[in-house]
């Protein structure tokens, strides 16, 4: 194909995102918010957020000779890890991470999935692999702690042998939940658990259930698959759409009947609330208004007098305001909830560099560490460190060697709600 | 391809860049500090101004002044154009390499060299980002005041080269007022140091002030010594709404003549207020004009200043005044003003950002003319700006994809600028000349332009430094 046809094909697959690319005024404000645009190697402008958008503009305006299907271009696009911090910095409000997902989609459509590493393919359907890991737990956990296995795994999947990965649990949240007697709350709520709280840390799912029951809800857990953030990030939009379709089909009847859908993971909240609709298909917006984050729901219940904090001693905490919580503007909500729980907070705005699973790839590990090191300068080790994101917690614990808790754990402690075994 | 403001360089015979040049430059900066890759060069082909794309032949990232000097010495010997570049956030095409050649990016020279706390001065490399500098200076309760709108990304080198400023200029002045000393690489590669750490001087020509605002056409700045100010202990802010633009500007004029020293006097017209309200629910009142005033100092001075200014606003018919009770409210008031630019950008596919300055007694006339001119061309304009120093941004809504609309917007902009110059004003208060405002240089400077050209020819006889900017050399 001649260069012009190549560009036309790329732009065709890139779709309506071209309108957003055209709106970029190249002010570069996004660079100030973008974690990877502020690492040492980002002195090259091609490795910055604005650089990536300018390259897309060059394709659209037929300037220069950039091959949109070159690995060099793809490597630069892959420096965006969808933290979404750039969107609030952008005067035009351009959803830059979504442009990158669509650019990867166009790239994959032309080059095929064989260009993805095994690690990308595993993460893109992490629900299935989490299920597998849980089935073979604790053996799978034992394997993942063997250095030799991790080195082999790094070779095969590109997942860095040093990256901290979550454990698997033989008893999943789902299997535990099925054994529970039906609670008799005076109001009903749907819980979208997502994969992590199901397979990797069922205690989160259990504690969420307990908190919801404590404030008077009967909890419904419909069939569901993982929310699918990695597939969206990698540009595997057709695969992501299948996950979204499944979850949408399960959740829509509840939304239509006035049920609210609560999520304990910021990534799930983000996708169900807006991500599916803005990135994949507008029809997914039909459930958006029903989706609520756990922190928001608990604050609401606290304001209605349904949640009381019995432990009164003030406790100093550091709240890491993770990227997706920021995208959802959850910070002030969590902050109010922690205030109500008697926590004296310091907010840490810096990104941890984990970015879901981006930081676990060997190609990204050093950069991820550099970003985490900036966060480390803000962390006071003698205070409880909190974050809402499961993967931020893994990243911070792995790189900073400090324990991290979820706000919901502290909320439960302060309300003296015990985790069910 | 979208219509863009055309870059029409005069025919200039520069040497053709070749692989030997790359090898020689690699010897100077090292292989990791240069690139001829397409994906790199494309980014340096444009800045924040909608010009045509002109790729440089090579981009280099030197790490010290000596490397800059050697690069320029080489370029001089080979007759290759050199364009210095900070963040590339300029709005006038100042950093677009329209004759290709070498882009010298300062992204690796981005450090504070020395903080002279007792003298309230700082020595920095040109690639230092403005907000980062002030963040580091805050430990010493010091700051560098000009505060341009692009503060989160713009570099000190870019600010000095453009003589940038922002919302605080009415009290604190502009970048030029703070530059004490410069290290500059001349067109032949020679490194000079000009200026001193003394606050005043009556010795010789003021080369520092010559290089400030010269947009890399006279020399390449490699080190900057800035004087600083003490961070004020108190900031008091209020907004006042008016029933007309003229009532607002009359109030501004009286505030400035009253001996008060506002730290900001920001004006928003009705079109801008409406755009802010459409974009974000900040609760601005739907009035013909709004003025935000801020005073700095100790509690008493700031409070008294603000109250006196608001009294003047009332006298001129301010219909609603809101004084911030605390810092949270103050930030809310500023959110309306700071939301102006993003709101306008979101409201239109593209926007031509004006930057005229007129004497404060002529602001009303300049704005009234901007409305009349844009009406005649059938385009929409929204004005906001730093009314305390007469700097108004008449922003014309347009669309690159609509050739006719774009051309009408360009023409309207030309007439607005020409009118401002006629009123005793200038084409640009803080964005610089670059490519876009070259067309106004003759009109604004008359026969003094020939003197400027002589200076350029003296310092850069072979015209290798950012050629094609400011003016064309015959």
- pLDDT surpasses 60 at B237: yes
Pair A294, A313 in one domain: no
Nearest to B39 among A50, A73, A92 (CB): A73
Nearest to B39 among A22, A55, A91 (CB): A55
Range B466-473 average pLDDT: 92
Percent of residues, chain A, with pLDDT higher than 90: 86
Residue A182: band (very low, low, confident or very high) from pLDDT cuts 50, 70, 90? confident
For residue B2, the model assigns a pLDDT of 42
Pair A82, A38 in one domain: yes
Residue A272 lies in a domain: yes
Answer whether A66 sits within 8 Å of B48, measured CB to CB. Answer: no
Reported as a single tens digit per residue, the pLDDT across B61-108 is 999 999 999 999 999 999 999 999 999 999 999 999 999 999 999 999
Answer whether A58 sits within 8 Å of B152, measured CB to CB. Answer: no
Taking each helix axis from N to C end, the angle separating A3-14 and A49-60, rounded to the nearest 10 degrees, works out to 120
Answer whether B53 sits within 8 Å of A31, measured CB to CB. Answer: no
Answer whether A55 sits within 8 Å of B35, measured CB to CB. Answer: no
Pair A320, A397 in one domain: yes
Reported as a single tens digit per residue, the pLDDT across B133-175 is 999 999 999 999 999 989 999 999 999 999 999 999 999 999 9
Q: Is A91 on the interface with B (CB under 8 A)?
A: yes
For residue B4, the model assigns a pLDDT of 54
Q: b vs e for A22-50, b when ≥16 Cβ sit within 10 Å of the residue's Cβ?
A: bbbbbbbbbbbbbbbbbbeebbbbbbbbb
Pair A337, A386 in one domain: yes
Answer whether B41 sits within 8 Å of A64, measured CB to CB. Answer: yes
Residues on chain B touching A57 (C-beta within 8 angstroms): 46
Select the residue from A4, A11, A32 to test the B interface by mutation, using most B Cβ atoms within 10 A: A32
- pLDDT surpasses 70 at B9: no
For residue B111, the model assigns a pLDDT of 97
Range A48-60 average pLDDT: 96
Residue A3: band (very low, low, confident or very high) from pLDDT cuts 50, 70, 90? confident
Q: Map tokens 């006719």 to a residue.
A: B404
Residues on chain B touching A89 (C-beta within 8 angstroms): 152
- pLDDT surpasses 90 at B305: yes
CATH of the domain at A23: 1.10.1060
Taking each helix axis from N to C end, the angle separating B270-279 and B340-347, rounded to the nearest 10 degrees, works out to 80
Reported as a single tens digit per residue, the pLDDT across A383-401 is 999 999 999 999 999 999 9
What rounded mean pLDDT belongs to chain A?
93
Reported as a single tens digit per residue, the pLDDT across A91-125 is 888 999 999 999 999 999 999 888 899 999 999 99
For residue B6, the model assigns a pLDDT of 53
Nearest to A54 among B46, B153, B345 (CB): B46
Answer whether A44 sits within 8 Å of B341, measured CB to CB. Answer: no
Percent of residues, chain B, with pLDDT higher than 90: 88
Residue A105 lies in a domain: yes
d(CA A174, CA A179): 9
Pair A233, A259 in one domain: yes
Pair A404, A338 in one domain: yes
- Residue in chain A closest to B91 (alpha carbons) equals A27
Residue A156 lies in a domain: no
For residue B3, the model assigns a pLDDT of 46
CATH of the domain at A232: 1.20.1050.140
Range B329-334 average pLDDT: 89
How many angstroms separate the first and last alpha carbons of chain B?
31
Pair A32, A74 in one domain: yes
Residue A313: band (very low, low, confident or very high) from pLDDT cuts 50, 70, 90? confident
Select the residue from B5, B39, B64 to test the A interface by mutation, using most A Cβ atoms within 10 A: B39
Pair A291, A180 in one domain: yes
Nearest to A27 among B41, B89, B105 (CB): B89
Answer whether A32 sits within 8 Å of B129, measured CB to CB. Answer: yes
CATH of the domain at A363: 3.40.50
Answer whether A64 sits within 8 Å of B2, measured CB to CB. Answer: no
* Alpha-carbon gap: A180 to the closest alpha carbon of chain B (Å): 46
For residue B12, the model assigns a pLDDT of 60
Pair A369, A283 in one domain: no
- pLDDT surpasses 50 at A193: yes
Q: Is A62 on the interface with B (CB under 8 A)?
A: yes
Across A153-162, A271-280, B174-183, B281-290, least confident range: B281-290
Residue A404 lies in a domain: yes
Range A188-212 average pLDDT: 95
- Domain boundary among the residues A96, A115, A134 is at A115
Residues on chain B touching A43 (C-beta within 8 angstroms): 61, 105, 107-108
- pLDDT surpasses 70 at A421: no
Residue A265 lies in a domain: yes
Range B421-450 average pLDDT: 95
Q: Which two tokens stand for residue B207?
A: 């080369």
Residues on chain A touching B42 (C-beta within 8 angstroms): 54-55, 58, 63-64, 66
- Domain boundary among the residues A256, A281, A299 is at A299
Pair A284, A204 in one domain: yes
Range B21-28 average pLDDT: 98
Residue A134 lies in a domain: no
Domain residues for the domain of A8 are 3-115
Answer whether A64 sits within 8 Å of B150, measured CB to CB. Answer: no
Q: Is A31 on the interface with B (CB under 8 A)?
A: yes
Answer whether B108 sits within 8 Å of A65, measured CB to CB. Answer: no
DSSP SS3 for A190: strand
- Residue in chain B closest to A53 (alpha carbons) equals B43
Answer whether B40 sits within 8 Å of A46, measured CB to CB. Answer: yes
Range B303-327 average pLDDT: 95
Chain B neighbours among A 238-277 (CB < 8 Å)? Answer: none
* Alpha-carbon gap: B459 to the closest alpha carbon of chain A (Å): 30
Pair A397, A362 in one domain: yes
Pair A191, A287 in one domain: yes
Three-class SS of chain B: CCCCECCCCCCCCCCCCCHHHHHHHHHHHCHHHEECCHHHHCHHHCCCCCECCCCCCEEECCCCHHHHHHHHHHHHHHCCCEEEECCCCCCCCCCCCCCCCEEEECCCCCCEEEEECCCCEEEECCCCEHHHHHHHHHHHCEECCCCCCCCCCCEHHHHHHHCCCCCCHHHHCCHHHHEEEEEEECCCCCEEEEECCCCCCCCCCCHHHHHCCCCCCCCEEEEEEEECEECCCEEEEEEEEECCHHHHHHHHHHHHHCCCCCCEEEEEEHHHHHHHHHHCCCCCCCCCEEEEEEEEECHHHHHHHHHHHHHHHHHCCCCEEEECCCHHHHHHHHHHHHCHHHHHHHHCCEEEECCEECCHHHHHHHHHHHHHHHHHHCCEEEEEEEHHHCEEEEEEEECCCCHHHHHHHHHHHHHHHHHHHHCCCECCCCCCCCCCCHHHHHHHHCCHHHHHHHHHHHHCCCCCECCCCCCCCC
Residues on chain A touching B341 (C-beta within 8 angstroms): 91
Beta bridge partners of B193: B183
Nearest to B107 among A43, A73, A92 (CB): A43
Residue A419 lies in a domain: no
Reported as a single tens digit per residue, the pLDDT across B339-381 is 888 889 888 888 999 999 999 999 999 999 999 999 999 999 9
- Residue in chain A closest to B341 (alpha carbons) equals A91
Percent of residues, chain B, with pLDDT higher than 70: 97
Number of domains in chain A: 3
Reported as a single tens digit per residue, the pLDDT across A323-374 is 999 999 999 999 999 999 999 999 999 999 999 999 999 999 999 999 999 9
- Domain boundary among the residues A115, A137, A157 is at A115
Residue A139 lies in a domain: no
């Amino acid at each position: 194909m001649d260069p012009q046809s190549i560009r036309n094909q790329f732009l065709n697959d890139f779709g309506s995102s071209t309108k957003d690319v055209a709106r970029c005024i190249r002010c570069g404000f996004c660079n100030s918010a973008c974690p990877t645009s502020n690492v040492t190697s980002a002195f090259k402008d091609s490795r910055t957020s604005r650089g990536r958008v300018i390259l897309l503009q060059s394709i659209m305006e037929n300037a220069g000779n950039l091959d949109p299907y070159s690995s060099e271009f793809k490597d630069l696009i892959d420096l965006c890890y969808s933290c979404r911090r750039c969107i609030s910095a952008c005067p035009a409000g351009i959803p830059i991470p979504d442009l990158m997902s669509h650019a990867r989609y166009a790239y994959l459509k032309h080059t095929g999935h064989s260009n993805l590493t095994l690690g990308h393919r595993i993460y893109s359907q992490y629900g299935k692999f989490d299920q597998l890991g849980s089935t073979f737990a604790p053996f799978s956990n034992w394997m993942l702690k063997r250095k030799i296995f991790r080195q082999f795994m790094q070779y095969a999947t590109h997942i860095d042998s040093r990256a901290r990965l979550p454990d698997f649990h033989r008893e999943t949240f789902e299997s535990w939940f099925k054994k529970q007697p039906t609670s008799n709350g005076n109001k009903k709520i749907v819980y979208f658990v997502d994969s992590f709280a199901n397979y990797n840390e069922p205690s989160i799912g259990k504690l969420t259930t307990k908190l919801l029951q404590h404030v008077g809800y009967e909890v419904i857990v419909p069939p569901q698959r993982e929310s699918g953030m990695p597939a969206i990030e990698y540009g595997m939009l057709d695969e992501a759409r299948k996950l979204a379709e499944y979850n949408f089909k399960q959740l829509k009847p509840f939304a239509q009947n006035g049920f609210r859908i609560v999520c304990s993971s910021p990534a799930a909240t983000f996708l169900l609330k807006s991500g599916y609709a803005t990135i994949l298909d507008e029809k997914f917006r039909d459930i958006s208004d029903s989706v609520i984050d756990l922190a928001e729901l608990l604050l609401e219940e606290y304001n209605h007098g349904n949640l009381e904090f019995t432990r009164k001693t003030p406790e100093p905490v550091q709240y890491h305001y993770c990227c997706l919580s920021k995208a959802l503007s959850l910070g002030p909500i969590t902050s109010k909830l922690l205030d109500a729980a008697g926590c004296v907070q310091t907010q840490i705005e810096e990104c941890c560099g984990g970015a879901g699973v981006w930081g676990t790839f060997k190609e990204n590990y050093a950069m991820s560490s550099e970003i985490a090191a900036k966060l480390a300068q803000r962390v006071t080790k003698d205070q409880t460190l909190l974050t809402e994101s499961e993967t931020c917690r893994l990243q911070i614990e792995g790189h900073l060697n400090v324990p991290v808790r979820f706000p919901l754990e502290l909320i439960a402690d302060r309300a003296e709600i015990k985790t069910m075994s | 391809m979208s219509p863009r403001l055309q870059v029409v360089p005069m025919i200039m015979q520069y040497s053709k860049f070749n692989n030997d040049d790359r090898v020689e430059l690699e010897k100077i900066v090292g292989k990791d500090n240069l690139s001829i890759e397409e994906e790199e060069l494309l980014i340096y082909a444009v800045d924040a101004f909608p010009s045509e794309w002109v790729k440089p032949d090579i981009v280099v990232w030197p790490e010290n002044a000596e490397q800059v000097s050697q690069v320029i010495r080489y370029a001089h010997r080979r007759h290759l154009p050199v364009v210095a570049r900070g963040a590339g956030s300029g709005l006038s095409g100042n950093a677009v390499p329209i004759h290709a050649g070498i882009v010298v990016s300062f992204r690796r020279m981005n450090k504070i060299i020395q903080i002279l706390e007792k003298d309230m001065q700082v020595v920095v490399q040109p690639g230092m980002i403005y907000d980062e500098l002030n963040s580091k200076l805050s430990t010493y309760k010091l700051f560098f005041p000009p505060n341009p709108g692009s503060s989160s990304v713009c570099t000190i080198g870019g600010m000095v080269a453009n003589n940038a400023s922002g919302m605080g200029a009415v009290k604190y002045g502009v970048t030029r007022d703070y530059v004490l000393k410069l290290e500059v690489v001349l067109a032949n590669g020679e490194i000079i140091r000009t200026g001193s750490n003394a606050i005043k001087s009556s010795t010789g020509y003021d080369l520092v002030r010559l290089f400030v605002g010269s947009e890399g056409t006279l020399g390449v700045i490699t080190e900057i010594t800035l004087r600083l100010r003490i961070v004020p202990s108190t900031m008091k802010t209020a907004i006042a709404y008016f029933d007309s633009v003229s009532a607002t500007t009359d109030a501004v004029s009286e505030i400035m003549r009253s001996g008060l020293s506002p730290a900001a006097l920001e004006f928003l017209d009705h079109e801008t207020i409406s755009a802010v309200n459409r974009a974000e629910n900040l609760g601005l009142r739907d009035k013909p004009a709004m003025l935000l005033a801020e005073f700095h100092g100790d509690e008493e001075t700031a409070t008294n200043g603000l109250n006196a200014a608001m009294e003047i606003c009332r006298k001129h018919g301010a219909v609603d005044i809101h004084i911030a009770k605390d810092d949270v409210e103050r930030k809310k008031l500023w959110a309306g003003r700071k939301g102006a630019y993003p709101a306008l950008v979101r409201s239109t596919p593209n926007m031509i950002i004006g930057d005229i300055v007129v004497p404060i007694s002529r602001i009303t006339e300049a704005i009234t003319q901007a409305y009349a001119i844009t009406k005649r061309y059938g385009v929409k304009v929204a004005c906001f700006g730093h009314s305390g120093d007469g700097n108004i941004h008449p922003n014309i809504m347009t669309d690159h994809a609509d050739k006719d609309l774009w051309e009408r917007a360009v023409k309207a902009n030309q007439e607005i600028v020409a009118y401002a110059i006629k009123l005793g004003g200038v084409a640009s208060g803080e964005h610089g000349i670059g490519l876009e405002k070259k067309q106004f240089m003759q009109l604004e400077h008359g026969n003094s332009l020939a003197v400027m050209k002589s200076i350029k020819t003296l310092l850069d006889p072979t015209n290798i430094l950012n050629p094609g900017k400011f003016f064309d050399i015959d």
